[in-house]
Structure 1
Amino acid sequence: MIQDFQCADTHALFLRRRVPRFANIEAVALRKLAQLNAATTLDFLRVPPGNRLEALQGDRKGQHSIRINEQWRLCFVWCDGRAHRVEITDYH
């Protein structure tokens, strides 16, 4: 379940508001946000394999991500069965 958002635009998209910078990824991003919101365990996000769930390193250590596409990721901190500080980010 999503507890809170790091990014106002990600929260707006989750609420089904139009966010121009996410226009090209809107449908997939909404599906990934729904998966994250439904997750009760981190392992839930391993399926489908295309999510490519991974623990991040470097300045994002402590966060996990699932892929929206090759450019965009849905990043979050998983704690106590909930997703915190959720944001869609251009990872490159």
Structure 2
Amino acid sequence: MIKNFRDSWLRDFFLEDIQSKKIPAIIRSRIFRKLQLLDDATCGADLISPPSNHFEKLSGQLKGKYSIRVNNRWRIVFIWNDERGEADEIYLDNHTYK
């Protein structure tokens, strides 16, 4: 379940269907599907499938955060609470954390 978005434009995109120039048009539908999957998740195992999510625990300066892949360039990054099944501080990243 989605608890909170870091960026209001991403929240508006998902909840209000408000388009943002910050989201490339070519991946909008894919981002929306990934956010739906994240909202429906009740445990980390729900994010493992499909394998294309590449659900992973991040390290380094993003220690404590997780990500799922949108495509080779874009990721959705978030804090995951497996006990509550909640994703918090969700944001879209162009893979700058690598």
TM-score range, shorter chain: over 0.9
**Secondary structure, in 3 states, of the residue corresponding to 2:22?**
helix
Aligned length: 92
Equivalent positions of 1:63-74 (< 5 A) are 63-74=65-76
TM-score, normalisation: structure 1: 0.94
SS in 1 for 2:78: strand
- Give the corresponding residue for 1:35: 37
Looking at structure 1, the residues matched to 36 and 7 of structure 2 have their Cα atoms a distance apart, in angstroms, of 16
Percent identity between the aligned chains?
35
Deviations 1:42-74 (A, max 9, x none): 110000000000001111110000000011001
- Partners of 1:4 and 1:48 lie apart in 2 by 23
Q: Give runs of ≥4 in structure 1 deviating > 4 Å.
A: none
TM-score by length of 2: 0.89
Counterpart of 2:78 in structure 1 is 76
